[in-house]
Amino acid sequence: MAKESQGKKPHKNKPTSKKYKFYKIEGDKVTRERSCPRCGLGVFLMKAENRLYCGRCHYTEFFSKKDTEEKV
């Protein structure tokens, strides 16, 4: 007995790369956002609820309570 052919599988789109959210485009200029002051321009800071964090050197910047209340 031969297997019945199901045909091609439906195409699934890949998720968009998250690297584009670390850069800001203003006109003709591209600027990096939130780079680590210790590690340099190649390492970005992770944005958590109340802090910025570097996964490489564990540098942390905490937001003040006033800043977090204004963002909510």
CA distance 50 to 55: 16
What pLDDT, on a 0 to 100 scale, did the predictor assign at position 11?
Answer: 87
The 10s digit of each residue's pLDDT in 36-66 is: 999 998 899 998 889 999 999 999 999 887 7
CB of 46 closer than 8 Å to CB of 55: yes
Question: Looking up tokens 């690297």, which residue turns up?
Answer: 19
Q: What are the sequence ranges of the domains in the chain?
A: 45-72
pLDDT digits (tens, 9 = 90+) for 4-40: 777 888 889 988 888 888 888 899 998 888 889 999 9
